[in-house]
Amino acid sequence: MKLSLDKHPNWKGGTTIHNGYRMIKMPQHPNCRKSGYIMEHRVVMERTIGRYLLPHECVHHRDEIKLNNAPSNLILNDRNTDHMKTFHLKNKRRDVKYQKVVFYLKEGLSQRKIGKIFNCSHNVIKRVIMEGRDD
């Protein structure tokens, strides 16, 4: 007996988390991956500007929380190089912030997955939680 997707016990409604980004199942989207998934923040930006994004366009999260895909939190950059110069090169090594960790915990991510997002061990995440809020 074969179950349909929505009846399968592992079905999560067509969403998944990949490298800290929420991916949504949209096999009809022209820019989806072979798996049929596309990054949610790109779809939100497309709906905001009323057209599909071009391959070279990059969407940045203002608060750097990859799961916060509110339109007010997203910035469209013409090229990824512009995005990197503006937002990331000056912050080569970012500290793990308590508020971001709490946000991801509320989204249901494990300490290990949060550690992967911040490129650190789960022990660092555990310490941030134990120390409490940001200064």
Q: CA 129 → CA 18, 50, 86, 114, 122, distances in Å?
A: 23, 40, 29, 12, 11
Q: CA 81 → CA 40, 91, 102, 122, distances in Å?
A: 21, 15, 30, 30
Amino acid 12: pLDDT: 63
> Which pLDDT band holds residue 91 (cuts at 50, 70, 90)?
very low
Residue 131 has pLDDT above 50, yes or no: yes
Amino acid 78: pLDDT: 80
Across 45-59, 68-82, 86-100, least confident range? 86-100
> Are 103 and 73 within 8 A, CB to CB?
no
The mean of the pLDDT values for the chain is 81
CA pseudo-torsion sign 14, 31, 21, 71: negative
Q: What are phi and psi of 74, to 5 degrees?
A: -110, 140
Residue 34 has pLDDT above 70, yes or no: yes
Which sequence spans correspond to the domains of the chain? Answer: 12-92, 95-135
pLDDT, tens digit (0-9, with 9 covering 90-100), for 67-76: 999 999 998 9
Question: pTM for this one?
Answer: 0.59
Produce one character per residue of 61-88: b if its CB has 16 or more CB atoms within 10 Å, e if not: beeebbbbbeeebbeebeeeeebeeebe
